[in-house]
Amino acid sequence: MSAQPTQTEQPATNYSFDESEFWRTISAWRDVDADTFGDFRWQQQNSVTSVPAIQEVLQDLATPSLIADIEAGLLKTPMNVRLTPYVFSLINWEDAAADPVRRQFLPLGSEFMPDHPHAMDDPIAEEGHKATPFLTHRYPDKALFLPITLCPVYCSFCTRSRVVGGSTAVKSKSTYGAKSSEWDATFEYIRNSPQLEDIVISGGDSLLLRPGQIRQIGITLLNIPTVRRIRFATKGVAIMPMKFTSDTEWMDALTEVCELGQARMKEVALHTHFNTELEITAWTASAMKSLSATGVRVRNQSVLIHGVNDSFDHMRRTTKKLSSLLIQPYYLYLHDMVPSCEHLRTTVRVAENLSQRIQGSTAGFNTPRVVCDAPGGGGKREISSYTLYDQEIGVSAWTSPTAKPGEIFYYYDPIHQLSNEGRTLWTNEPEINRRLAKFKAEATAKAEATRF
């Protein structure tokens, strides 16, 4: 078990992190002590996964109108409900509707907006690039290994909402747990593809891989001579930091993989996923102290979410706090065009403004790259590198000369964030089709003219 870290035990930084027993504001956990709260098993066993569980845990804070709104949200979302007690108790339940943490994990029926006509189930074209049932090979030297589709929390904005977690009222899925016996063909493919230097192990979430599976994947991949870098993707540091201080078996496995990486002079990284500074507490500092001892490099990938982190001040504070704990801000993604997320998306213009302001606010290596993962498989493109952008109708065109030469990819801003004129155009089908056709013709001409 792991005791609540105190300020004196935290790494010395310019920031102080919440070391209060904040979970005790939740009725059901009023008597839970820090040792219990700091045990990953208790976090897993007490994760909140249904509306009755929310009512039971919140008691008086669960007002009838809030519960009705959550129930309505669950009829519209493709994602299951699962929140760890850690993340559940970071929510300000007195004003749950406005809370940025709640907004990420527990959608309200009143928030939803109609999907954009160009929303896509698989916006970054992972299914079309499957080399094996568990491996997406989309870029020349990098591949994405998806050994598991389960997560310790479920995010409303998940880009893999088509496969991650179980079925919901609006989405049926054939999800899978991690079955080591089925991975041989994937390892074989990587072994036979010497151009693959980078392997991302994602899902789902690597946090739910068993220690033996962390070893199996890490050691097998590091023993392939041509693989130079591996990264385990997990949201764990943001939503269950006590995993890294209380699951010694899992940490032993990670340490072993890191040591092998050091011996082979190969990088072992952990890519995590904080979206707001509200997720950073003394527990995070403690987790990072423990992770730092393994030698693993930790980077952060955020998603730009309307009402959560789409302001410069918020993003700057989040970035600086993460950096102070050796979590390197790496990417800030424009929200992918997945269904049921229109209320969470932002425009290219908002992302571009944020990118302009965040550059220069801290050291370059701690400045996240703001990118659009070009819909249809164009890959990550710098936010200001579009070929053409029509802000009135909210469409931008992107090329990817190295990964996908000759192709053009289109991203569509959320309609509700356009000007009155832009919104009106989207209600007039012949007119919007005419504008889009003109835009695409201009983008094609410009891409041709600037091809290199």
Residues in touch with ligand SF4 (CB under 6 A):
151, 153-155, 158, 160, 164, 203-205, 235
Cβ distance to ligand SF4 smaller for residue 138 or 404 = 138
The CB-of-73 to ligand SF4 minimum distance in angstroms stands at: 16
CA atoms within 13 A on the CB side of 285: 21
The CB-of-153 to ligand SF4 minimum distance in angstroms stands at: 6
Contact 354, 93 (CB under 8 A): no
The CB-of-80 to ligand SF4 minimum distance in angstroms stands at: 9
97/219 Cα distance (integer angstroms): 45
Tokens matching residue 246: 């209380």
Q: In this structure, how many other beta carbons lie within 10 angstroms of the beta carbon of residue 285?
A: 26
Amino acid making up residue 149: T
| Among 427, 253, 244, CA closest to 325 | 244
Q: What are phi and psi of 372, to 5 degrees?
A: -110, 125
Contact 375, 438 (CB under 8 A): no
Cβ distance to ligand SF4 smaller for residue 2 or 301 = 301
433/437 Cα distance (integer angstroms): 6
The CB-of-164 to ligand SF4 minimum distance in angstroms stands at: 5
| Among 344, 351, 353, CA closest to 414 | 344
- Degrees, nearest 5: CA angle 314-159-409: 95
The CB-of-124 to ligand SF4 minimum distance in angstroms stands at: 13
Cβ distance to ligand SF4 smaller for residue 105 or 389 = 105
Cβ distance to ligand SF4 smaller for residue 69 or 205 = 205
Give the dihedral of Cα atoms 283, 286, 290, 293; nearest 10 deg.
Answer: 150
The CB-of-85 to ligand SF4 minimum distance in angstroms stands at: 16
Cβ distance to ligand SF4 smaller for residue 163 or 190 = 163
The CB-of-170 to ligand SF4 minimum distance in angstroms stands at: 16
The CB-of-19 to ligand SF4 minimum distance in angstroms stands at: 25
- Degrees, nearest 5: CA angle 189-190-195: 120
Cβ distance to ligand SF4 smaller for residue 151 or 268 = 151
Cβ distance to ligand SF4 smaller for residue 155 or 237 = 155
345/303 Cα distance (integer angstroms): 9
Cβ distance to ligand SF4 smaller for residue 160 or 321 = 160
Length of the chain equals 452
